[in-house]
Structures are given as C-alpha cells and as structure tokens.
Structure 1
Amino acid sequence: MDISSIDTRHGTSNTYELSRGNSFPFTGYPFGMNYFAIETTDDNWWFHPEAAHYRGFRLTHQPTMWAGTKGDFASVRMLPFAGRTKGLTDVPYAPHLSTFNPTKLSIMQKNDHLNTTLIPTEYGALCHLRAADSHMGLIISFPTEGEITKAEGNVIEGYSLQLNAEGTVPLKLRFIIRTSVPVASVRELDPGFLEISFEDSTDITLRLGTSFISDEYARMHIPSQTETELLEEVTAVWNAKLNKIEVQDNDSERVATFYHNMWRAFLYPMKLYEMDESGMPVHYDMHAGIVRSGYLYTNNGFWDTARTVYPLYSLIEGDEYPKILEGFVNSYKEGGYMPKWLSPADGGGMPGNLIDAVLADATIKSVTPALEETFLEGMLHSATIQDPGNRLGRKFQNDYAEYGYIPADVPESVNNSLDYAYSDWAISVVAEHLGKKELAAEYREKALSYRNSFDKEVGFMVAKGRDGKFKSGFSPISWGGDFTEGASWQSTFQVPEDIQGLIELYGGKSSFLKQIVQLANSQPKYDVKGYGHIIHEAAEMEYNEFGQINMGNQPSFHLPYLYAFVGKSYYMQPMIKQMMSRLFNAGWQGYPGDEDNGSMASCYIFNSMGFYPFCPGTDQYLFGMPLYDRMLVHLKNGHVLELTTTQNLPQYQFLDAVELNGEVTHKPYITHSELMTTQHLDYTLGLVPNPENFNETIVPYSLTAH
C-alpha cells in the first residue's frame, strides 16, 4: 500500500452531538512534532470536510477537539493570498481540486488561480505558492497567542505560545520562514492578523523550521532539499509504517479502511524532542524550564490508548516504541508522576492510572528491559503517594487505601476503583517479572479490591458510600455520576485481569453467561441523570445498535471477548464481524465514535487480524474473527507472520478451525511469544458455529485462576 492513497479527511465529519471519529486531517511525519491541516472554522471542530471556505494552513499540536480551543498549544495559521483575496481572512477553496494526504496538503483557491502545496518535514515544512497573479503574500495569525518578530528581506520570524499551562513552564514554539522572494510590505489587518506581501512573483517557495528549544534549533530545521526530494522522503517513511502489515483481500473498500486505520495508528503520541548538532535527542523540560537530554512525547491519553495502541506497538513497532517509553519515563522524572494525559505536560485527565497497564505490557514483552526498574518505581509512587494537587497519578489514592474502593461522593467512583485495582495487578506483574515476590504477592491481593464494588444483589458494579453501603436507587443504564462515559453495563466488566474472579462473584459460568448474553441482547437504552444531558457516547451507542456493547468507546472494546471465558467464543464471532464491517469505513464518517489518539484504529487492526489484547499486561491475545483474506505482519523482531482466512465470505460468520504452522490449535488465545515465532496462522470460517473448535477447559488468563 502506498501512502498516496490515504485521504486525511477520514473520520472528520462530526458534530458535538455525534462522533464519527472526531479526527483531524493531519499532514506530517509519523509521530510528528507538528502536523498541518487547513482550518475551516474557529471552534473546537476547526475542520469539516464539506466546508468550501478556509481560514488558512494550521500548524497544529491538537490532541483532541475535547481539549478545547486552547488545547491546540503553540499553533500558527498561514493563509496565502493573491490579488483577489488580499485582505480577506476567510476565503473559498475548491475541495475537489485539492489534495488531502499525509505527505502532501495542496489547496486550490480558484478565484485567485492560487495553488499552495505543503510538504511536511520532521520539524518544519516546505510551502510552494503558484498563482496567475504576481501579487502574492501570507496572512499569519495565531489560534492561541503569538507574535511575528521579524518580517523583512527573505526572512519571517515569530513564536507561538502554549496557554493555560498548569504547574508547568509554558512551551514556546519558535518558527522561522525563509522566502524565495523578499518581503515587500507588512500591515496589520485586525488584531493578531498580520498581512505580509511579497515582491511581485507568480512562484514563491517558503521553507519553515520550528523548535520548542531555541531560534538556533529552528534554523537547523529549515529544509534545504527540493520539493521532490522532501516528498520522496516523507513518502518512504510513511510507506514503511503502512507496510508493516500487508493486506490482500477481494474487497478493495475494506482494504482502504484497513490502511486508513494503519495511518491513524502512527500519528500519536507526538514528538516533543529534537536532535542536537551531534544527533542526540534533547527536549525542553516544562517543569524546570531548561533543556535536558533524552526523548519526550506528548498528546496521549492512556485511559484510551493503553488498551490497544501500545500492545500493537509491542508487535510491530520496534523503532519508535522504546523511545516513546523512555519519553514517558522522562515525563515521570520531570513531572513527579507517571503520566495520565499528556497535552503537552500531564494534565491528569480521566480516571485511573492506566499507564500502569502499558508499563506492565511492555515489561512482559521485554520492550525496554533497562527501564523496567524505573517503571516499577514510578508505578509504586503513584500507588502510595497521592498528588497534593489532586491531579496526577492516582488522585484518590488516600481514599482507596483507606476503604479498598473510591467512595460514592467522589466523581466516577466506580471506574476509578476498578482501574486502581487493574493498576495494582499491573504492579504485581512488573514486580514478579523483576523477582520481587513479596511485593508481587502484596499487590495481587490489593488487586482483588474490585470485589468491593460488586453488589451481588443486583449483579453489577455499584458505587459504595464511606459507610460501606451500596448506593440506593441503582439503575444499570444510568450514565455518568459514578461511571465514566457509560453506565454500569459498560463498567461492570472493567476487570480484564480477573474475569474468572468476576465469574465467581456471579455464582459461576451459567449465571455469568446469562448476564453477558443480556449485555449484548438488551436494547441500547440509557438515562442521563448523572450528566444532565445526552453525551455523544450515549448517542453513539443508540445509533450503532449493538445492545449495551458500545464499540464507539474504549471501555467496550474488550466486551465481545468475554464469551471466551465461558467456552462460548462462537457467540462473539458474528458480533465482531458485524461490528468491524458495519461500524468502520474509509470515509469521512469512518468510526463508531471518537478515534482518540490511535486507540480505535488499533482496535480495528487487532480485530482484523483475528486476535485481540484482552488484558494488556498478559502475554495473551484472544482469538476473535479475522476480516481479510491474507495478511503479512512484519513483526518487530524481523519475522513475518502470514495470516490467511479460508471461506472469507459474508455468510461465513463463525470460526471453524485455527492452525499454527499447520497444526490445529484448540486454545482460545495465542501468546505473544507464539505470535513472534509463528510463520503461518490459518483461519477457516464456517456457516454454523463449531463449539469444538476451542477447548472449553482452556480458559484465558485470570488473576484468580493463576
């Protein structure tokens, strides 16, 4: 697959009320320090694919539109103009004559016969302006706050600031533009909008360098290559990422969907480091206000990405993933806690502390052995010392330590309680791996605290008061309040580390199976007493119509796989096939909900391969239902795994047989080490269920059973 086939408008047609991705159309390098897009409006959803006007090219660091208008820290807007649009700050453009691609953003302004092409570099870009009119220029403005400090000769210099930096030293993005044609005049149109006109020319090249460190670094990052050379370079880098998994299938639209998800899986986290003159990584420490050595990354929410993104990297991303983990360690060393939601520093958003799952998963899979002791140190710090500012790490750790759960007077108490238990288990995994047996045993015991939130009378996780009594008036469809982006239906099964223990709380497999059948077969009803209004995740569950399993949001990603724990994997196979076929596509409404930093894209990729990392921190991937005829997975260790699916037709909705290297397997899962050494994984689909395919006595990992 070639990156030129990707349309960056994938998943960008959204509203506040209903998300079909809530994505941005980014042009830039994988894990880029900057991305580029065009801005069509001035609200959180600053791009819409059907808009025919635009406000300029936007150099952006936006992690999500939910970060708000000030969430795009240190951004810059550049609007090219020619004679007919001089002085205007919002102009028509022709979407059908424009190019939206990860390697090239080309915008045609028909009224001016002005075409602007942007080719990204790792730390800058080249812009080429061509027009019939020789009176060309740029309007530079700032979505956040910034200033042009110089615009004369063949140089434009300025900076853009990070606003609302809580507890950090704000970032300052320096940018320098070298122009092929000298600046002729400069005037202020409106406050914050500077119009820079060039001397007469119909062909102008702008070379942009940026840095969070200094003007000198920004100058180092100004590209010198030709437009063709830069395009070839970024194309080669992207093709190397996309072709980590090669797909063959008789459905070309389905193949397009797969590769749009591959592209999105490599956008976040974004680089926040640069290379010094000797080729070593350096970054700006936002807590001390100084430059330090080492890697740093940002724009990542672990509540979303821990479940799928990093398990995917552990399979196929051998180059960047160790650097990313080192960057997270640097965030811990400089910020005091392992990060939760980086944008650009840790803002502490969302419940739990699910970076612990990432660190446990990386440890089990030996991604960066040299960092494992530091992983454990940081995990223990969050688990024992509550942040005085009640933002970072486990911000309700004192209550959790006292009660064994988070009391009901704390927002999202149930999800925090369950996520803290998961983190305790993750700590036990890393401790065990490092030979710290007593510590591992201590945290395995702590991990059983999820039981404190289970109300056997109603069969759900329920908020509990400080008096030890469950909250009255419980409804399993009541969203918000005690739960995060869902109700108890979506939250009760958030114990991937111990499903067997949860089964025991239900009184056995029969009762548990009855509950998860109801989970899928119930109507997608909800009430919003906890929120007071309908949030988009609830609307998406209703719109997508897969019962109480809301594939449009991360807490439901693993729910179809619950049936594997009661020997009923064939219950989930049609569900997975229908979800992947009906809820995802390569278009502007490509997702069933928020894509969120690669999390939903990575979920799609795993499901496509026919297996899923049900519990990051274990070495198991549960078999699901493959989507494609043939896949070649280029693993990070250099091996190639071939996946084939026989009888891959719409009416074949069940998994009839699985073979590893020609040998039939009856386990409902495959281990990481098996994946890394297997040459052939062959699936055969069937018209009817095959209860004998997987051995009911072989059950995936659970804490209680091991």
Structure 2
Amino acid sequence: MKYVLLSMLLLPGSLAFAQSKPPALVDLANPLQGTDSTGGFSHGNTFPAIALPFPMNVWAPYTQPAKDRFYYQYRQNKIRGIRQTHQPSPWIGDYANFSLMPVFGKLAVNEEDRASDFRHETEIATPAYYSVHLDTPKATAEVTPTVRAASFRFTFEQSGEGYIVVDPFDGGPEIKISPDQRTVTGICRNNHGGVPDNFANHFVIVFDQPFTAYGTWDDFSTKAGETEISGGHCGGYLKFDVKAGEPITCKVASSFISLDQAKLNLKREIGDADFDTVKQKADATWNETFAKIKVEGGTEEEQRTFYSAFYRSVIFPHRFYELDSDETTIYQSPFDGKLHKGYLYTDTGLWDTFRASHPLYNLLFPEISTEIMQSMVAVYDQSGWLPAWSSPGHRDCMIGNHSFSLFADAWVKGIRTFDVKTAMDAMVHDANTQSPENNKSLGRDGAAFYQKSGYVPYPEYREATAKTLEFAYDDFCAAVLAKGLGRTDDMNEFAKDALNYKNVFDPEVGFVRGRKSDGTWRENFDPTEWGGPFTEGNPWQWTWSVFHDIPGLIDLLGGKDAFTKKLDGVFYTPPDVNVGTYGGMIHEMTEMVAANMGQYAHGNQPVQHMIYLYDYAGQPWKAQARAREIMTRLYQSTPDGFCGDEDTGQMSAWFVFNAMGFYPMCPGTTQYMIGSPLFDRITLSLPGDKKFVIDAKANGPQRPYIGSATLNGGSFNRTFLDHSEITKGGNVTFEMTSAPNYKWGTAEDSRPGSALEDLKK
C-alpha cells in the first residue's frame, strides 16, 4: 500500500511537470533514493553517491559513526563529514576513506563533537553536486566530482574563526600539512579486506587561501602548530579567518599508486578550474550519459525514478586505474600488490550484476565493457582466479562463476578486444578447481563432486543446490565462448554440464531440492524454507534459476500448462516464510513479506528474471502485466524507493531495461524478452550514431498489454528482440491496450527456444 500512496501523493507535481519546462536530466536523478535503510529492512541500502559515471572515487555525506557500514541513514539529523568512499554495499564495507568537515568558533575534531545538525529541506543532491546547510557551524558545504578528484566549497555565515577538519579515519593513516603551499597530503589505509599488505590511498588537498593556524590531532589530543602525524587514528585541521559569505574552496584528489600520481590526477582533472567550472563539466557529463536514453511521457515521478535508476546503474563498477604522465593507464593491483599497465575495475558483485547491469553496459557503453573484459583477464593473470566479488580485491561473498557470463555476453554482442584465449583457459581452470578454504566465491565449491556426479551435494556443501543451478548456467556461458573460439571439445563438455540443473529437480515435489551425496533427497521438504541448500531464497524462487534451457525446464515441470500454473503459483502462494537454517528473519524475507506479491521476492536477485518465462510458455500478457506492476509498485525515486538491496546497480538496471520494454533474460545470448514499456516513447542513442526508438501508442497506467506491434514498419509478433535489431537502429511500435491480447506473441514461432539447443546447432 505504501508504494501506491506515494504515487498518488506525487501525482499533482507530475501534472505540473507536464505543463512546464522539464528540468535538465541530471536534476531528475535522486542520489537520496534508497537511503532510508537499516540492517533489518532495506529500501536500497544506498548512500548519496556524488560521482561521475564509472568513477574511481565517490563522495558522500555520512550521518553515522565512520565505522558504521550504513553510514548515511536518511532519518538521522547530524552530518559528521563528507567522505571519499568506495563502498559497494554495506555488507561488504568501505575502504580508502577520508573526510572533510567545517567547524566554526571552537575547534572540534572528534566526529561526535564536530557533527552538525542538518535538515533535508536544505540538502541538495544530484549525481554531479551535493550541498547541505550545516546548522551547527552555520555554514554550507558543497562538493562536485571528477573521476578521481573533487572540488569543495565551504561558506560560513558568520565572520570569525573557521576550521576544516581532515579525518583519514583509522588503520594507520599519515598526515602532512604544508602551510606555505596551502596543502595537506596524506595516506589512508582503512579497509574491510580484499587489499594487499602495501595497500594505501594517497591524497592531496589544495586550498585557495592561506591557513592562519593549523595542527594535528589524534583520539586523545590536538597538537597546535604540528605539521605531521601518523598511526592509529589521527588527522589534521586548518584554521581560517573567515568572512561571512566568502567561501573557502579546496581541490582534492587521490591515488592508489603514489602521492605524485595523486597530484597528477588533480592537475589533469581539475587544474586551475574553479568550483563552478568543475560542476558545469560534471553536469554536462551526466546529461550526455543520460541522453543515451531519452524518455517521453509518463509522470514526473516515473521519469525521476527512471533517471535515478539509470544513475545507480552506472556508478558501478569503479575504475581502479589511473593515467601516468604519458597518458598510459596504470594501476596498483589489489591482487598482487604490484604496479601494472592496463585496466582494472572493482567494487562489483557479479552474482548480482551479470543479470542486467553488464548487459546494459554492452548495449550502451561497449567501450566500458571492453575495459571490464580486459580487467577480468588481468585479475586472473595476477591472482590465478577470475573475479566473482571484487572490492577492491577478491571478497568471499555469494556464489557462481559469473565472470563466465560477462565474457559470453560481451562476445555474442561483438565485444571481442580482450585476450579471449586466456579468458577461456581461465574458465576451464575455475570450473574444475575447488574453491580455496578462505574464499568460497572463487573457483567452485564442490568442483570434484560436481564434475563426477553433476550436482553439488548438501549438506556437505553450503547452498549446494543454488550452486548447482548457477554452475550449470555458467557452463552454458563457457560453452558459448568455446564455440566462438572453435574449441569443440570444451564446448561439448560445458554444454553437457549445462544440463546439470536437471539433477537437482525432484519431480515428486515439483521443485529443485537439496540432494545428498548418495543421491537421495534432503528430508522434510518445504518450498517456503529459506537457506540450507539455497542462497538467500527458497525453492519457490530458485526453481526458475535456469536461464539457458527454458524449454527443458518446461518439460521438467510437466509442459506449458503445468509450467504457467506453477509460475502463477509464485504470486498466489501466501508470502509465508520458514526461516530454515538462517534461524530467524533476515531482511530479504521481511522485504518479500512487505512487498505482498506472494513468494515473488523482487528485493533479491534469483527471481528477477522469472516473469519473462511467461514469454517462453505462450502467455506473454502475464509478463507484460507483471513487469508493469513491479515497476510501478516497487520502485520510486524516494528515500524508500527500492524494495530490497540495490546491489551495485542490478536492481536499477532491471528497472532501466523494463521501462524500455525489454529485458536480457539470458545473458550470453543476443535475445531480449519483451515486457511492457513504461513510457510513451523511448529513444536509445547507440554507438555509431544509431538510434532505436520504442513507441508505445495509447500507453497509460491501465494499459500495460501489447495489442499488436511493428518492427521497422513490418508486422512484429515475437516476444523477443535481437541485439542486432536494436544496435543497427530502427523503430519498434507497440499498440498498448487495457486488456490482454491472447494471440499476440503466443504462436510457437513467436517464442524464443532453448539457448542451449541453439548453441549446439
């Protein structure tokens, strides 16, 4: 009910929006979306990320203690500083942080003492700019970003003694103040793992005016006049004789390589530019990015939700590379601690993002995907494993080998400028190698048993049935790349293993199920039981986790009628929860219950493709209705605007695709399943100056169904579009209706087939 009420409350503003000049695209995106979250209930688990697309560094205010992973919580009323952040998720944690905070009158360095009251009414947040009035020092703090640097502006309302406190947090930082150069330099080393022993983030801060005093501090005292301090938790402060209304500005940059590189990053990305110039460039970058998808029609709130989702889709993964004085890309590897040439991207969970985020990059930003593919090969070269969850190095989180999916999806969509042979060798290695004890996300947990028996047994291995399903899909992706390289033996072996999903399906209960090493099924089956052989879900959600062989899954479930009845059952079964091995309600369970869509748990990833299975079974009108329902009920641009963890862009990318009216249900293929476009017209500006237009005629809130369609003027009766049909440019037109058309897209030749069987041809 909450989501419906929010839409109704926003409607008057939507009408005004239609009658006045629309704002710039950058001003439609709301970085505060999803920030009203806690560990017990996620409305996104986001923070207001002020950054450019695919940044190295991000900037954000923080309202909680520095060590709190939910460091910006919308309901709090104090700000402790504006920090450089790289956190991909509160469940992973942050690293390489330092912050700046203005103080007035009496010096206060401890984050509790320096914290200022603030009100959201005086807070402005866009992707390119953040401003907040700090009520305690009576000052306004502003920040605007570049990829590796940022410009700050602090304006006090009173004349007197003003301070800027620099806090590099704990972990053994270093600070050096150079008064004659109006500069502070330092190193922060804080992290939550995934870094080598020599990890360091070097930063430089250059002010526009001299300090009248300065000093250092630690947790026990301040040291006036001292210029250097290191170890434990320490920092520095700068004093200014401020005049009311006259700003103090500073330029900030950092480097994971060296202080000299940080200075080079600052010179290259900001140089002599003032605050307003940096902001104008940041605005222009975001407007250019958002212009890749122009939406027309809908309400103001729907457009704000769309561009908020688009923004969230492209602030991960983070660049980890820098440019040296010769413009060569270099990086300090978090995997072997050495300096390398080339590209590296970090801070992304592939278990989440293989589904929609990376297909979105392949469609709109193939140049970024090219760098990401090269990055993954480099990770294998430096660590011996393909990445699964990097932040910035390997983290032990989630399951599957979804780098396989990224390689396959890039390959079939024409992105091939990476070392494909090494990528294939890496897949063979990871698919046949047991995970190390300290990181079960690498390789395959249960690899030997999986290769011998075709499934991962439970309880010998945690989350074994979910792993079996994900490995089977990843094997399909490996087969795709093997076929492209002409490695027939590898293709045949991986294609055979791609059928292993069948080995954990029990026809007697009609669900996937935990299976023991002796071949028998785990006892006391309950389809509402979470955990055990499953990852953050239950059989109602995981049974559909077959992307590459839907006709095979339809057969397992007894044919199209039984299959669609089972799909319907996901929504009509009460959202009851058996907490299983979790021992209590976890936030994903609570969010499923709150969404009140039966056992459909959109707040987590395993089920997010499920509605498009209706397209395979001859009932596409159900996919259309459900897509529209999920978009309008479970997404808003507000602080409570998500129905679960946003997870490094995946939940947002799901919305972006669905709002356009199609979705990459099986990455590693060139097909996009058709749903229900949210807007009247969507124009994609694609590489090569191509444009693809989606027209939804007679569209509206009560008209989610496709009555008929044309593609480039000709009759179109398929429930899928091909990647090439989009990228070469053209127009698809849907005539939208308020009642289902039971004939459109229902014929056998209108449906997609088995991607696995197509691969074998």
Relative to the length of structure 2, the TM-score reads 0.90
Q: 1:147 aligns with which of 154, 162, 173?
A: 173
* 2:291 is equivalent to residue 266 of structure 1: no
Q: CA deviation at 1:30?
A: 1.1
Distance 1:219 1:38, change over 3 A: same
1:535-550 equivalence runs, <5 A:
535-550=586-601
Separation in 2, partners of 1:389, 1:420: 19
Q: Are 2:754 and 1:702 aligned? A: yes
**2:207 — aligned with what?**
179
1:365-376 alignment runs, 5 A limit: 365-376=413-424
Return the match for 2:456 from 403, 406, 413: 406
Of the candidates 186, 191, 212, which is equivalent to residue 158 of structure 1? 186
Q: How far is the alpha carbon of 1:636 from its aligned partner? A: 2.7
**Aligned counterpart in structure 2 of residue 336 of structure 1, from 384, 404, 423:** 384
Say yes or no: does 1:79 pair with 2:101.
yes
| One of 134, 138, 153 as aligned partner of 2:164 | 138
| Contact 2:169–2:190 under 8 Å retained in 1 | no
Residue in structure 1 matching 2:217, options 177, 188, 199: 188
Partner residue of 2:584 out of 528, 533, 558: 533
Q: Deviations over 1:272-299 (max 9, x none)?
A: 1100111111000223322110011110
Q: CA deviation at 1:146?
A: 4.2
Q: 2:194–2:392: 8 Å Cα contact kept in structure 1?
A: no
Structure 2: which amino acid aligns with 1:553? N
| Shift in alpha-carbon separation, 1:170–1:466, aligned structure 2, 3 A | farther
Distance 2:324 2:756 in 1: 50
Question: Are 1:491 and 2:545 counterparts?
Answer: no
Q: Which moved more, 1:486-495 or 1:643-652?
A: 643-652
The alignment partner of 2:530 has SS state of strand
2:684 to 609, 630, 633: 633
Task: Confirm or deny: 8 A CA contact 1:135 1:197 kept in the other structure.
Answer: no
CA distance in structure 1 between the partners assigned to 2:609 and 2:38 by the alignment: 26
Question: For residues 259 and 591 of structure 1, what CA distance do their matches in structure 2 show?
Answer: 14
Deviation digits for residues 121-177 of structure 1, max 9, x if unmatched? 221212122212331112222444242431230121111114354583452100111
Q: CA deviation at 1:433?
A: 1.5
- Aligned-partner SS, 2:576: coil
SS of the residue corresponding to residue 142 of structure 2 reads: strand
Pair 1:66-2:91 in alignment: yes
Please name the residue that 1:309 is paired with. Answer: 357
Give the % identical residues. 31
The match for 2:256 is 212
Q: Is the 8 A contact 1:549 1:556 kept in 2?
A: yes
- In structure 2, relative to structure 1, the CA distance for the partners of 1:620 and 1:703 (3 Å cut) is closer
What is the SS of the residue equivalent to 2:579?
strand
CA contact (8 A) 1:115 1:129 kept: yes
CA distances 1:3-49 after superposition (whole Å, capped 9, x unpaired): 13333111111122211111110111111111111110122211122
Equivalent position SS for 2:184: strand
SS at match of 2:689: coil
Unaligned runs of 5+ in 2: 1-23, 221-232
Whether 2:693 is the aligned partner of 1:661: answer no
1:519, distance to aligned residue in structure 2 (A):
1.8
CA displacement, residues 409-466 of structure 1 (integer Å, 9 cap, x when unaligned):
2110111011111111111111111222232122111111111101111011011111
Report deviation, 1:547. Answer: 1.7
Show CA shifts across 1:291-314 (max 9, x none).
110011110000000000011111
Pairing partner for 1:685 from 723, 736, 739: 736
CA contact (8 A) 2:662 2:673 kept: yes
Alignment-derived partner of residue 104 in structure 1: 129
- Kept in 1, the 8 Å contact 2:495–2:756? The answer is no
The SS at the match of 1:479 is coil
Residue 497 of structure 1 contacts residue 701 of structure 1 at CA under 8 Å; is this kept in 2? no
Q: What SS class does the counterpart of residue 236 from structure 1 fall into?
A: helix
Contact 1:390–1:396, Cα closer than 8 Å, also in 2? no
Match of 2:274 among 226, 236, 247: 226
Is the Cα–Cα contact under 8 Å of residues 335 and 394 in structure 2 kept in the other structure? no
Structure 2 counterpart of 1:354, one-letter code? H
Q: Deviations over 1:95-114 (max 9, x none)?
A: 32232222112221234331
- Which among 125, 129, 149 is matched to residue 154 of structure 2? 129
CA distance in 2, matches of 1:579, 1:287: 39
**2:242 counterpart (201, 204, 221):** 201
* Change beyond 3 A, Cα 1:631–1:208: same
What are the residue-to-residue correspondences of 1:552-571 with 2, within 5 Å? 552-571=603-622
| Residue 461, structure 1, aligned to residue 512, structure 2 | yes
Give the Cα separation in 1 of the matches to 2:432 and 2:756: 24
What is residue 595 of structure 1 aligned with on the other side? 646
In the alignment, which residue of structure 1 is the partner of 2:447?
Answer: 397
- Please state how far the C-alpha of 1:629 moved relative to its aligned partner: 0.6
Give the SS at the match of 1:684.
strand
Q: Is the Cα contact below 8 Å between 1:9 and 1:100 reproduced in 2?
A: yes
Going from structure 1 to structure 2, the CA distance change for 1:95 and 1:166 (only over 3 Å counts) comes to: closer
Counterpart of 2:13 in structure 1 is none
1:260-299 correspondence to structure 2 within 5 Å: 260-299=308-347
Note the aligned Cα RMSD (angstroms).
1.7
User: Residue 509 and residue 208 in structure 1: after superposition, are their counterparts in 2 closer, same or farther (change >3 A)?
Assistant: same
Equivalent position SS for 1:112: coil
Residue 30 (1) aligns with residue 53 (2): yes
Deviation at 1:517, TM superposition (A): 1.8
Residue type of the partner of 1:140?
V
Report deviation, 1:81: 0.9
Q: Alignment partner of 1:642: what SS? A: strand
2:12 aligned residue = none
* Corresponding position of 2:14: none
CA 1:144/1:305 → structure 2, altered by over 3 Å: closer, same or farther? farther
Aligned match of 1:46: 71
Give the conservation status (yes or no) of the 8 Å contact 1:348–1:393.
no
Tell me the residue number matched to 2:695: 644
What's the counterpart of residue 15 of structure 1? 38
Amino acid at match of 1:393: G
Q: Tell me the secondary structure at the aligned position of residue 221 of structure 1.
A: helix
- Structure 1 distance, partners of 2:383, 2:26, is 37
2:411 is equivalent to residue 383 of structure 1 = no
Q: Which residue of 1 aligns with 2:4?
A: none
Task: Give 1:398 deviation, angstroms.
Answer: 2.0
Matched pairs, number: 703
SS at match of 1:641: strand
Q: Give the secondary structure class of the aligned counterpart of 1:381.
A: helix
Deviates more, 1:415-424 or 1:163-172: 163-172
- Compute the displacement of 1:231 (Å): 1.1
SS at match of 2:196: coil
Distance 2:283 2:511 in 1: 50
Structure 1 residues 564-573 or 694-703, which shifts more?
694-703
Distance 1:385 1:213 in 2: 33
Q: Give 2:502's aligned residue.
A: 451
How far apart are the structure 2 equivalents of 1:343 and 1:259?
A: 26
The farther-off stretch of 347-356 and 488-497 is 347-356
Per mean C-alpha deviation after superposition, the further-off stretch among 501-510 and 418-427 is 501-510
Distance 1:172 1:195, change over 3 A: closer
Correspondence 1:2 to 2:25? yes
In structure 1, what is the equivalent of residue 555 of structure 2?
504
Are 2:592 and 2:599, in contact at CA under 8 Å, matched by a contact in 1?
yes
